[in-house]
Chain A
């Protein structure tokens, strides 16, 4: 359920975003999904790859500041109101979401979209959401779905 996420500090200058992807590409590491948060001054790039330890090593060797955090993956019914229903469970449990973004899942299964969610205490959230019937996705399965 817990997915290791890499976060990188980026200066808000042309060309900065390309650097980490180039480094990962040269190391043969496939980026499974990403999200970019930005301010006028700087940005935070968040990445999910299968071999996060190697990714961290090559990125740091290239001079990046890399932070590792756990996010959780969950399936959301792919229909109008699907996400609203899941978020209702979060609200009922009093779980605050720091941020979330979509996982680049294949559409084969059809019935679900997959989201990555950052919470303050992922372990507690996993227990609570599991018992509330929210469909959490283990890391292996997540990677298998995209053939990683």
Chain B
């Protein structure tokens, strides 16, 4: 285990299943899931429309014939119209915040909760959690799956939970320090805030007892990982999940930290072109689509996450056989099509990161002045990138141009613009303006 910064322990032997055995297990579980789903009116209709006989799914190839499930389907069946078990068997309800409309609820049987805590235990142990650790959980507890999801996974491992929940950051810093928590669980942005407040209190990098951090609930970057590790003196791990699929525990990083192992004995994952819905090649970014294999209360077929990431099927040195998903690099809702090619704002951001180390403010403007689409990327100049020498500025301009072409495959016209000249909206930065669409 010398290749890893700590012992590579595996919580569940199922994580190491050889691929052939895994496929056999998935096939049996998929057939069972489709049968179970067919008892729900929504899926009975959807399977009927797709011309699929619920009893006829006997291989994983059958997956592609199954209908998709969208967020709107859950909304349309509000509050609990997609249960595959009687209401009396429900043991817990969670839900999404409903920031983009009516909230959606998800339900768990006792068996689902057992499965879920086991999945959370897997990624926590893969990321260094041991039964003698104290874990500070700064996720909100409530309908959101983060708090309770992590809580029961930690208990499953036998470690101690400090259920600090959100808010009052100075007090959180005090709790971490005084109780000697080795592990921090929260969103990556909140972890950065904790680090900032700790620094204000005179606690420099590594002066908190923390050694490991498990962060999820929102997309983040490698750059943020480096910052978190430096500022908190920890190893930082990424995990992935969404309530519609189960919650945190769908995928998580191991000690190799080269992508998150999807818990494939419990979920089938597809990576599809969001427009054609055809599979993309491994390593290419597409929309992740999940099918649950063991969920009892709310089986879900081909759930379109809108999350964009790539899959890596190469063997992992940790020995886990689950396919690895990369970081979520964007949402398929933000995608735009230029000259027939799918482009994501995150690709432009990645190109800018390659050139400048950190991504400056940028804006992508798409127009169609003649017959062809034209894309202009406005990039704000920052003091660190600016030189009094013209050749350096021209080289910078050319490098951005080249990287954008390399990442997206599209030629975009790069314009260097003055700092602050790109409009900021409160909170979320606007990245794309498409002049082709009528306003």
A contact residues vs B (CB 8 Å cutoff): 5, 7, 9-11, 16, 37, 39, 41-42, 44, 46, 63-67, 69, 98-99, 118
Contacts and interface: CB of A to CB of B under 8 A. Distances in A.
Interface in B244-283: none
Contacts of A46: 388
Overall SS of chain A's interface: strand
Q: Which 7 A-B pairs have the closest CB atoms?
A: A7-B388, A65-B386, A37-B390, A9-B381, A69-B388, A42-B416, A63-B420
A41 B415 contact: yes
B334 to A, nearest CB: 27
12 contacts: A7-B387, A9-B416, A37-B390, A39-B393, A41-B416, A46-B388, A65-B382, A65-B418, A66-B383, A67-B387, A99-B389, A118-B389
A10 B388 contact: no
B39 interface: no
Interface string B382-398: 11001111100110010
Contacts of B59: none
Contacts of A66: 383
B419 interface: yes
A98 B419 CA distance: 25
B400 to A, nearest CB: 12
Contacts of A7: 386-388
Overall SS of chain B's interface: loop
A64 B388 CA distance: 13
Interface in B392-439: 393-394, 397, 415-421
Contacts of A65: 381-383, 386, 418-419
B76 to A, nearest CB: 49
Nearest to B416: A42
A10 B418 contact: yes
B419 A11 contact: no
A64 B383 CA distance: 9
Nearest to B417: A11
Nearest to B385: A65
A39 B394 contact: yes
B397 A5 contact: no
Nearest to A63: B420
Nearest to A16: B418
Contacts of B420: 63
A98 B389 contact: yes
A63 B419 CA distance: 7
A11 B388 contact: no
B388 A118 contact: yes
A9 B389 contact: no
Given A9-B418, A65-B383, 20 more contacts: A5-B388, A7-B388, A9-B381, A9-B386, A9-B416, A10-B418, A11-B417, A39-B390, A39-B394, A41-B397, A41-B416, A42-B416, A44-B393, A63-B419, A63-B420, A64-B418, A67-B387, A69-B388, A99-B390, A118-B389
A44 B390 contact: yes
A108 B364 CA distance: 54
B378 to A, nearest CB: 10
Contacts of B381: 9, 65
Contacts of B397: 41
Interface in B358-392: 381-383, 386-390
B226 to A, nearest CB: 26
Contacts of A11: 416-418, 421
B404 to A, nearest CB: 15
A67 B416 contact: no
Contacts of B382: 65
A57 B341 CA distance: 45
A118 to B, nearest CB: 7
A13 to B, nearest CB: 9
A44 B389 CA distance: 8
Contacts of B419: 63, 65
A63 B383 contact: no
A7 to B, nearest CB: 3
Contacts of B416: 9, 11, 41-42
Given A9-B381, A39-B394, A41-B397, A63 B418 contact: yes
B386 to A, nearest CB: 5
Interface in B23-52: none
Contacts of B390: 37, 39, 44, 99
Residue in B383, B389, B397, B417 whose Cβ sees the most chain A Cβ within 10 Å: B389
A65 to B, nearest CB: 5
A42 B382 CA distance: 14
Nearest to B413: A41
Contacts of A10: 418
B417 A67 contact: no
Residue in B382, B388, B390 whose Cβ sees the most chain A Cβ within 10 Å: B388
A64 B421 CA distance: 11
Contacts of B389: 98-99, 118
A44 B381 CA distance: 12
Contact of A67 (B383, B415, B418): B383
A66 B417 CA distance: 14
A39 B386 CA distance: 15
